């Protein structure tokens, strides 16, 4: 592991120690929704003339639906500045003491460069968590700076190779690539025992109008072109559609912003040509999240860790479908780097974060975090050989206190001089 990783780790440990001592010395009353103020109530007081102070009779109810809609601005180094609308909803479909809050999050963004995206995500629980339905739908037009496969250097090509008697030299350069995408992923889980679920689902990912955005070079030099012809995929559009088989352990207290608990998910994905995939492929994905609340009176003091990994077992994946930076369901992996900065046939990611309130009414909170990722390629780069670290800090604005939704702004720095601001809805993990 690099010296940068050690420095970031040491810094976070010092911050965590200080934060834990601070949490233990706080003497405020026990935290409750009654003392909290969120952005939704502030806007209501401005436009409706109502006080933003919570009512003493306001309580969590099984039959109540919590819903908020706000205009939003976002920034990501991949697409630049964007404006749009975000919404967040929540409802209990059973007794709140035995049923997890079901949440829906949706948003639409339009960037200054003409790029756009629409996202709809749901995580719904039936009474006593007997059934759990998770899903995402994403439609967008985007551009990404493509640096090739693997980790370990600024940009790494696929090496020299022959294809149909044509010799291709190595191409360790970065190329902008534009494309349209439609992604839909739905999984249904059935509860087997306390906090243990099994499930199955479908995933459909379609990429089209794939185009090199730098016209001063032949398309044969781009990473997408060379990878695609080498692995038997079309150049301008392709699909990766598959079956999902899942095993999950989940005892988090809340899906949007957990204070405590564990989330562990194992997914076996089988892409099938009869479902429309260009090639068959088999992957296995592991995800593990652990949350520790560091204070009984102020549970928002949280230390959390996240592991996300995806391994290709057989077959081949389309180039834009390869796992990497930002390839999780919410596109949040790898703060400090643009989406797709690092990717490979297999990919591993680790992150640690400390979360803490900044104001007594919990309207504003802060975070500090470090992360590291590794990926392989089809040549000499092996998984776990090179790690790319990143780290930073951020602010949180409480969006809806009943669903714990918040608006996030982070600043992060990573290797090769990479840095940027990252905005989004809800915690990164």
Would you tell me how many other CB atoms lie within 10 Å of the CB of residue 143?
Answer: 19
Start-to-end CA span in the chain (Å): 24
CATH code of the domain covering residue 38: 2.40.160.50
pTM of the model: 0.79
233: nearest Cα among 121, 153, 317: 317
> How far apart, in whole angstroms, are the C-alpha atoms of residue 27 and residue 227?
59
Mean pLDDT per 10-residue interval, the chain, length 429 residues = 42 40 37 69 65 46 67 64 79 87 85 81 91 92 86 66 53 78 94 93 95 69 87 93 96 90 96 96 97 92 97 96 90 89 95 95 93 91 93 91 86 90 85
pLDDT of residue 7: 43
Domain count, the chain: 1
The DSSP call for residue 100 is P
pLDDT of residue 362: 87
Gyration radius of the chain's alpha carbons: 22
Measured CA to CA in angstroms, residue 76 lies from 72, 322, 330, 337, 408 at distances of 13, 20, 13, 9, 12
> How far apart, in whole angstroms, are the C-alpha atoms of residue 173 and residue 410?
28
> What is the domain range of residue 125?
3-425
pLDDT of residue 1: 44
> How far apart, in whole angstroms, are the C-alpha atoms of residue 291 and residue 272?
36
Residue pair 130/190 in contact (Cβ under 8 Å)? The answer is yes
pLDDT of residue 239: 95
> How far apart, in whole angstroms, are the C-alpha atoms of residue 368 and residue 366?
7
């Amino acid at each position: 592991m690099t010296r940068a990783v050690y420095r970031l780790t040491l810094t976070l440990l010092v911050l965590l120690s200080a934060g834990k001592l601070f949490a233990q010395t706080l003497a405020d009353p026990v935290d409750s929704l009654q003392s909290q103020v969120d952005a939704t109530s502030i806007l209501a007081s401005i436009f409706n003339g109502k006080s933003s102070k919570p009512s003493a009779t306001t309580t969590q109810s099984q039959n109540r639906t919590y819903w908020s809609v706000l205009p939003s601005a976002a920034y990501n180094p991949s697409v630049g500045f964007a404006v749009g609308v975000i919404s967040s909803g929540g409802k209990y479909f059973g007794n709140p003491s035995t049923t997890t809050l079901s949440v829906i999050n949706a948003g639409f963004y339009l960037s200054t460069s003409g790029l756009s995206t629409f996202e709809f995500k749901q995580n719904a629980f039936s009474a006593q968590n007997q059934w759990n339905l998770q899903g995402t739908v994403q439609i967008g037009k985007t551009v990404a700076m493509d640096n090739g496969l693997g980790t370990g250097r600024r940009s790494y090509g696929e090496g020299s190779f022959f294809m149909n008697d044509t010799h291709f030299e190595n191409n360790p350069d970065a190329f902008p690539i534009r494309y349209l995408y439609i992604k839909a992923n739905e999984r249904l889980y059935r509860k087997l025992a306390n906090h243990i679920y099994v499930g199955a689902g479908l995933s459909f990912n379609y990429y089209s109008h794939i185009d090199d955005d730098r016209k001063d070079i032949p398309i044969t030099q781009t990473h997408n072109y060379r990878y695609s012809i080498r692995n038997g995929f079309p150049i301008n559009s392709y699909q990766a559609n598959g079956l999902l088989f899942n095993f999950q352990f989940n005892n988090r207290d809340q899906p949007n912003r957990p204070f405590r608990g564990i989330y562990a998910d194992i997914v076996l994905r089988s892409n099938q040509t009869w479902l429309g995939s260009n090639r068959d492929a088999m992957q296995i994905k592991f995800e593990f999240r652990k949350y520790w609340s560091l204070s009984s009176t102020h549970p928002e003091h949280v230390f959390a860790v996240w592991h996300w990994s995806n391994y290709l077992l057989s077959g081949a994946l389309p180039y834009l479908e390869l796992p990497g930076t930002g390839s999780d369901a919410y596109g949040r992996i790898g703060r400090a780097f643009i989406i797709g900065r690092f990717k490979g046939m297999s990919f591993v990611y680790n992150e640690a974060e400390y979360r803490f309130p900044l104001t007594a009414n919990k309207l504003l909170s802060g975070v500090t975090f470090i992360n590291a990722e590794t990926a392989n390629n089809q040549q000499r780069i092996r998984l776990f050989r090179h790690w790319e670290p990143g780290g930073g800090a951020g602010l949180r604005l409480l969006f809806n206190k009943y669903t714990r939704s918040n608006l996030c702004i982070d600043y992060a720095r990573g290797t090769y001089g990479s840095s940027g601001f990252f905005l989004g809805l809800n915690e990164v993990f």
